[in-house]
């Protein structure tokens, strides 16, 4: 695959270590056409409910902050034409939103 207009990921990065997430982000970004867009989602930690998933259900995720998501974008080459963070309607899922330069 190459020359893609959009690559969208939600529910995957929550399981990836920092190094793997960085490499995958670079790989996905390389598949975009000039002007293509990459949206990578990751949950944030919610202090009043995250513990339930981990200690009651045994479901462990990698939670990221806006800063850690932006770090994934800063490693991209060439540097994105646009890079920012968007949240879903709940406010608990961050999306790294990058556009490959034209």
pLDDT per residue as tens digits for the range 80-99: 999 999 999 999 999 999 99
Q: Per-residue pLDDT for 55 more than 90?
A: no
- pTM across the whole model: 0.89
**Mean pLDDT, residues 60-65 taken together:** 92
Residue with the bigger pLDDT between 23 and 54: it is 23
Distances from the Cα of 38 to the Cαs of 47, 48, 59, 79, 80, in angstroms?
Answer: 29, 31, 27, 13, 10
**Mean pLDDT, residues 8-30 taken together:** 97
**Mean pLDDT, residues 53-77 taken together:** 87
Residue 28, pLDDT score: 98
């Amino acid at each position: 695959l190459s020359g893609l207009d959009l690559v969208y990921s939600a529910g995957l990065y929550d399981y990836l270590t920092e190094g793997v997430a960085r490499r995958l982000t670079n790989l996905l970004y390389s598949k975009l056409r000039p002007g293509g867009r990459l949206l990578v989602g990751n949950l944030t930690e919610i202090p009043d409910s995250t513990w339930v998933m981990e200690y009651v259900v045994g479901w462990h995720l990698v939670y990221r902050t806006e800063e850690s998501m932006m770090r994934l974008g800063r490693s991209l080459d060439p540097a994105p034409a646009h890079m920012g963070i968007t949240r879903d309607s709940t406010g608990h899922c961050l999306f790294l939103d990058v556009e490959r330069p034209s």
